[in-house]
Structure 1
Amino acid sequence: MSYMKVTTSNLLIALVTKKKSTLQLDRSEWCDVVALSRQLGFLPFLYHISREENTFSLMPKSVASQLKSAYYELLKQHDSINWHLAQLRKNNPSSLKITLLKGAAYIAAGKRNAAYRLLSDIDLLVERKFLNDAEFWLFINGFAVSVSDEYDDYYYRQWMHELPPFVNSKSGLIVDLHHNLLPISSKRHINASLIVDSGIELEDNFIVPSDEDLIIHSAVHLIQDSVFDRSLRDLCDQYWLLTDYIEQNITSEQLIDRAIKLALGTDLAKSFSLMSEVLNLPLTDEESDFVKQSLRRKRLWALEKKCYIIMLHQPVKSEWRVKHHVASLYLFVKSHLIKMPVKLLIKHAGMKSYKRIIGLFKKQEKGS
């Protein structure tokens, strides 16, 4: 049973889990669902299910036009991403092995959820020892680091699991270049070669993670992320990936074993628990035992789970209430404590606060 009821999110969840049809939505409900889906980057999903259910022509015209527009935006994004990836493959002078992550991987692997979500960037993974070569490779393909602040650049390179974002000078497309799934400063960061070596090579040194690793990384991204206005989309990604995985493999045994091997079993267990609670995903006895064993010593999980459920049932951001801000703050602090030791977190927070104050003073001086 959910900790709270939020009509719009529950409507969207019912559509995702096929407990409700788009034919059952009235005009007011459509407006609410479209507004929340826009925040989640989820409008293409509504377009697809309305097409599948043959209800597209029956919905309000104002809604249909927004869904159709989102669908064409998705096609344009996919064309752009595929074109950029093709150029990157051609111009790979040192034959780097590049692993696609998240949205780009879903597209390349032909995953169902690739057709349901809009993207904001391309996520790539290389082993850390090849970072200099990868950065040069992006540079000759027209991408440059977007961070000009020296401290921010140092912070990314010294402590994080990725370099500062790269932006294409012509198209504006953003590439996030990862060398790990978790920050270096985290005790839980793994050897990226484990992901690369078990991946599936598509062509010309471009790799897609195994199905198990795609699901595990999606779980890690949800549990470790510090931005929560699209949490429901991330959970639905896992839901679709997992249900398709079970359909192909019958059991999640290999998935669970892989998560444990990567020392990321806790993240997968939390994801299972949230999918069961929020999306009513039935867990097998094996999965339930895995969740219990993984989380039995996590004393703060009950509070953490409640905060996640609040954020997974959130309305559009402009309608957040106190509980959404409190839950978001708790999860934000939690995610940063996972990413770095307390001393480093305090130092980083202090530096960011100092820079923000200095920036305000400079703005005031310019204005006076």
Structure 2
Amino acid sequence: MTESARQREQANALLLAALRAPESLPGLPPTDWDLLLRVARRTRLLGRLEAQLAALGALDAVPERAVNHLRSARNLVQHRHTLLTWELNRVLWALEGLDVPIVALKGVAYVLADLPAAPGRFFADLDLLVPHADIQAVESRLLERGWIKLPLSPYDDRYYRVWMHEIPPLRHRERENEIDIHHRILPRTSRFDFDPAPLFERTRPVAGSQARVLGPHDMLLHGLVHLLLEGDPQEGLRLRDLVDVADLLRHFGREPGFWDGLVPRAEQLGLGRPLYYGLRFTRRLLASEVPDPVLRAASRWAPPRPVGALMDWLLPLAILPGHPDHPTRRAALARWLLYARAHWVRMPPWLLIRHLLYKSWLRVRGVPKRAALGPEELKRM
């Protein structure tokens, strides 16, 4: 093994050990703390480490310089939580009088429902789910009450509205927080797409809010969809999304009937393959406890052996950060291949080819994907 490979393995092992057993962190030597902080920051899990140590009452046993970084991450996370829960409050105010169920998704949902995935969880925008029949009324009301459309080309606007699972993002003209209004959790063109009506049937109320959250099975499956079907060519799959899944499994796994109903719900929604991968890799990388009967039941959706072996090689490469000073072409290749896979299951081949050709043509011409809005433009809108 080369020195670079050894360093990459050490960085990954250090981060996974910290996530699995945070009680061991106070005993780390300063050199390991330096590396851990770097890889945790790279994966946006620094706030998560702070939350774990704070819950254990172990921050005082951590080197002071490390604690300063951890507290800085905590402050950033808490700031985002405050901004985006307030943004949700304003959205609910703007939609008063509309008989529309508003379902919070992902990070804000974890905060509203006070789930273990919330402490230390960084999120950049507000994601909401509403029925497709109400999407136009919701968008119109928000535009009347201070939110604005981001400047997109006619092609991109149509792409969102015809093919995707959400309308183009909106931004508040003063607070500049972005909101994504979804009408389903997968693009209409995805081979995993399904009728979202059953999601609304199992949503749960949230104390002190008019918003609702997805039911336990659906929240977990949405986390897996977000993890496995939305790759990024630079960042790859997001380890923090896998951590969310592990947290949800551990929390909801204590509820009576959760494990018995998980596989049937995945079958009903056509999300068996994401469930199989999710259970396999949360157990492998984060040591999640999954009952053997559930794993056996989910294994019916396992891919053919060559594909499974390829995913066993690609996914850890793409999802783990490696060493910041020793990047590897294999990891870059894995991220790109999983990004290509995400697009392959997102669109039928004819649409994917047309879309990629058009986007490539725009890049050759130097056309920016999104124009920036300056203060003067904001005043005129």
Partner of 1:61: 64
Partner of 2:16: 13
CA distance in 2, matches of 1:325, 1:230: 11
Partner of 1:364: none
Shift of 1:19: 7.1
Q: Deviations over 1:136-181 (max 9, x none)?
A: 1322332222242221111111111112221111112111111111
CA distance in 2, matches of 1:171, 1:71: 21
* 3-state SS in 1 of match to 2:358: helix
Paired AA for residue 244 in structure 2: D
Shift of 1:204: 6.6
> Bigger CA drift: 199-208 or 263-272?
199-208
Report the aligned-residue RMSD: 2.2
* 3-state SS in 1 of match to 2:221: helix
Partner of 1:239: 246
CA distance in 2, matches of 1:352, 1:218: 28
Shift of 1:298: 6.8
Aligned pair partner of 2:178 in 148, 154, 174: 174
User: Does structure 2 conserve the Cα–Cα contact (< 8 Å) formed by 1:95 and 1:205?
Assistant: no
Q: Deviations over 1:210-253 (max 9, x none)?
A: 11111110011111012244621111100011011112337511
> Bigger CA drift: 262-271 or 136-145?
136-145
* 3-state SS in 2 of match to 1:252: helix
User: Does structure 2 conserve the Cα–Cα contact (< 8 Å) formed by 1:22 and 1:53?
Assistant: no
Aligned pair partner of 2:225 in 220, 230, 233: 220
CA distance in 1, matches of 2:317, 2:209: 44
Partner of 2:373: none
Partner of 1:127: 131
* 3-state SS in 1 of match to 2:76: helix
What is the aligned-residue identity percentage? Answer: 25
Aligned pair partner of 2:25 in 19, 22, 29: 22
Is structure 2 residue 274 aligned with structure 1 residue 271?
no
Are the structure 2 counterparts of residues 97 and 283 from structure 1 closer, same or farther at C-alpha, using a change threshold of 3 Å? closer
> Bigger CA drift: 228-237 or 261-270?
228-237
CA distance in 2, matches of 1:221, 1:316: 25
Q: Deviations over 1:287-320 (max 9, x none)?
A: 2212321115475232123211112222266743
Paired AA for residue 245 in structure 1: F
Are the structure 2 counterparts of residues 129 and 317 from structure 1 closer, same or farther at C-alpha, using a change threshold of 3 Å? farther
Aligned pair partner of 1:287 in 280, 284, 294: 294
User: Does structure 2 conserve the Cα–Cα contact (< 8 Å) formed by 1:188 and 1:263?
Assistant: yes
Paired AA for residue 346 in structure 1: I
Partner of 1:366: none
Partner of 1:157: 161
Shift of 1:20: 5.7
CA distance in 1, matches of 2:145, 2:154: 24
Partner of 1:117: 121
CA distance in 2, matches of 1:34, 1:19: 13
Shift of 1:119: 0.8
User: Does structure 1 conserve the Cα–Cα contact (< 8 Å) formed by 2:22 and 2:52?
Assistant: no
- Structure 1: which 5+ residue stretches go unaligned? 362-368
CA distance in 2, matches of 1:30, 1:36: 10
Is structure 2 residue 57 aligned with structure 1 residue 50?
no
User: Does structure 1 conserve the Cα–Cα contact (< 8 Å) formed by 2:147 and 2:170?
Assistant: yes
Partner of 2:211: 206
How many aligned residue pairs are there? 359
Partner of 1:253: 260
CA distance in 1, matches of 2:311, 2:105: 26
CA distance in 1, matches of 2:22, 2:70: 21
Shift of 1:322: 0.5
* 3-state SS in 2 of match to 1:136: helix
